């Protein structure tokens, strides 16, 4: 994992290859349900216009997000996210090419859960059972969490699918 790098050294290659970026961050202030729903509505509009799909999980002041799309679009979006003053400690966990989207039907799927709810959620609990916060997830656990989110045995917690 590494802290957000909004500027990378060297020349960036512009590519239309499909990638996913997984990151975690800490909210600078707690988000109310209303503020989360406003954030979600804006993200869905923006992502749909950019051709980006993914998911957002909020748990006790931490965000976990997966962004999928064309490489240059995802990089630019992540730079914008890094500058957003509503969160800090933006940590890129994974940035890699993918063969296909796993969140292809969602411009932004979303859930808000407490850490205890995450521990009780079938499928999601495997990713956080070590007691880590979302900011401490390893690459393996981050991938496990994203896949479990899609598989959705915990879906009763989904807000506004």
Domains in the chain, start-ordered, CATH in brackets? 2-7+14-157 (3.30.70.100)
Bigger pLDDT: 5 or 107?
A: 107
- Please state, in angstroms and rounded to a whole number, the distance separating the CA atoms of residues 110 and 92: 19
- Whether pTM > 0.85 for this model: the answer is no
- Please state, in angstroms and rounded to a whole number, the distance separating the CA atoms of residues 114 and 126: 15
Segment of 27-31, 121-125, 133-137, 151-155 carrying the highest mean pLDDT: 27-31
**pLDDT exceeds 80 at position 131:** no
Of the listed ranges 3-12, 40-49, 113-122, the one predicted with least confidence: 3-12
Q: Could you write out the three-class secondary structure of 128-142?
A: HCCCCCHHHCCHHHH
Mean pLDDT, range 43-53, rounded to an integer: 93
**pLDDT exceeds 50 at position 48:** yes
**Which band of pLDDT confidence, cut at 50, 70 and 90, is reported for residue 127?**
low
Mean pLDDT, range 82-101, rounded to an integer: 94
Mean pLDDT, range 120-137, rounded to an integer: 70
pLDDT for position 100: 93
pLDDT for position 16: 63
Give tens-digit pLDDT for 60-80: 899 999 999 999 999 999 999
The residues, any chain, with a CB within 8 Å of residue 80's CB and separated by 6 or more, are none
């Amino acid at each position: 994992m590494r802290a957000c790098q909004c500027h990378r050294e060297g020349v960036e290659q512009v590519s239309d290859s499909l990638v996913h970026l997984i990151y975690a961050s800490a909210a600078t202030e707690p988000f109310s349900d209303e503020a989360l729903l406003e954030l979600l509505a804006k993200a869905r509009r923006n992502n749909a216009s950019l051709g980006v799909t993914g998911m957002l999980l909020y748990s006790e002041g931490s965000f976990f997000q997966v962004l999928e799309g064309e490489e240059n679009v995802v990089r630019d979006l992540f730079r914008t996210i890094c500058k957003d003053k509503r969160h800090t400690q933006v940590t890129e966990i994974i940035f890699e090419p993918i063969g296909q989207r796993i969140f292809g039907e969602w411009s932004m799927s979303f859930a808000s859960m407490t850490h205890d709810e995450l521990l009780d959620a079938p499928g999601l609990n495997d990713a956080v059972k070590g007691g880590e916060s979302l900011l401490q997830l390893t690459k393996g656990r981050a991938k496990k969490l994203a896949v479990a989110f899609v598989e959705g045995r915990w879906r009763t917690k989904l807000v506004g699918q």
